[in-house]
Amino acid sequence: QLSAAGQWAQAISTMQQAQKLGVGLKLTPKSQAVITANLANDYNGAKQYPQAIATYKQALALYFPDPTFKANILTNMGAALVATGKTTEAVQDFNQAAQLDPSGASHAYYNEGAILYNSGKMDAAAAAFQKALTADPKMAEAWYEKGMALVGKGKVNPKTGATTYPA
């Protein structure tokens, strides 16, 4: 509830205490990973991105058997990586998340496309949005963004103002 209210400092403090208690109580690796991932989410919400990334990595080291859980952590860590300018690592995380959890692949590939688009890499962005559409052909926002990436590849003739697009 603290996270939902944007009370990040209190949320972080609470999750840090839960993490310490979890170690002392010898909780299962899955429970420890959930607490650690929630702490990372709180760091992410507080825009403490380096700490969020390090904490997501701790959560990944604690618990691997659930591919959906791991994919969720990778997606969240990808968002934190983007915020720190580490787009190559973020794209890798989104790709890995899509492979681990095909049911969430469209969103992972969409996030990848958005990063590439915002980095000015229109060909790669269009390809990522196409992967999102392959995973979910009804994802309207991916259709739109793919179109915007393709339009973004256009070249304007400075003399005539005419725009040409690659085939």
Neighbours of 25 (CB within 10 A): 9
pLDDT-derived band at 67 (thresholds 50, 70, 90) equals very high
pLDDT-derived band at 135 (thresholds 50, 70, 90) equals very high
Q: Which residues contact 37 (CB under 8 A, 6 or more apart)?
A: 55, 56, 59, 69, 72, 73, 76
Range 103-110 average pLDDT: 93
Q: What is the mean pLDDT of the chain?
A: 89
How many whole angstroms separate alpha carbon 159 and alpha carbon 147?
26
**Residues 57/46/82/110 CA torsion (nearest 10 deg):** 90
CB 82 within 8 A of CB 102: no
Least confident range from 64-73, 93-102, 137-146: namely 64-73
pLDDT-derived band at 54 (thresholds 50, 70, 90) equals very high
How many whole angstroms separate alpha carbon 16 and alpha carbon 36?
8
